[in-house]
């Protein structure tokens, strides 16, 4: 008895592979969230200030002849303290800007609601139906 040899299944054409599916999918619009200028400036200024502080502390320590351990400890402590302070300041600014935008949004919604109520009250019952 002779065993039947089956041919392997044919590979799909290249057009039906996953590559084609990826090309057909429409590109999603990336949603860019932009921070207010004050918040962006605060974050950027904080990062720049920390880098400058790092360089100044290391250069002053090395010029004064401090050993490596003292230089590292001075730099680490000052970076932690200043980084913490700048984080608190940045967080407070961001919080205030965020709360202000929420308040403006609520006021706009209340104003729209009041306008809609005036339109509805101005209509007679026959106009509503």
Calpha distance 48→45 (Å, rounded) = 5
Over the stretch 83-97, which tens digit does the pLDDT of each residue have?
Answer: 999 999 999 999 999
Nearest-CA neighbor of 45 among 86, 85, 76, 82? 86
64-94 burial, b at 16+ Cβ within 10 Å, e below that, comes to eeeeeeebeeebeeeeeebeeebeeebeebb
Calpha distance 11→17 (Å, rounded) = 10
The pLDDT of residue 31: 72
Give the count of beta carbons closer than 10 Å to the beta carbon of residue 42. 20
The pLDDT of residue 25: 60
Calpha distance 90→39 (Å, rounded) = 7
What stretch of H or E contains 122?
A: helix 68-122
The pLDDT of residue 13: 58
Q: Give me the residues of the chain with pLDDT under 50, please.
A: 1
The pLDDT of residue 15: 53
Calpha distance 74→70 (Å, rounded) = 6
The pLDDT of residue 119: 79
- The answer to pTM > 0.85 is no
The pLDDT of residue 120: 76
Calpha distance 83→46 (Å, rounded) = 8
* Length of the chain measured in residues: 129
The pLDDT of residue 9: 62
The pLDDT of residue 8: 60
């Amino acid at each position: 008895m002779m065993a039947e040899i089956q041919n392997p299944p044919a590979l799909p054409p290249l057009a039906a592979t996953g590559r084609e599916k990826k090309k057909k999918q429409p590109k999603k619009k990336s949603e860019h969230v932009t921070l207010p200028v004050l918040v962006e400036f605060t974050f950027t200024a904080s990062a720049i200030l920390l880098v400058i502080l790092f360089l100044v502390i290391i250069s002053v320590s090395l010029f004064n002849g401090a050993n490596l351990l003292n230089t590292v400890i001075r730099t680490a402590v000052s970076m932690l303290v200043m980084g913490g302070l700048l984080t608190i300041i940045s967080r407070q600014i961001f919080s205030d800007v965020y709360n202000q935008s929420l308040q403006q949004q609520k006021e706009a919604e209340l104003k729209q609601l009041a306008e809609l109520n005036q339109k509805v009250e101005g209509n007679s019952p026959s106009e509503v139906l």
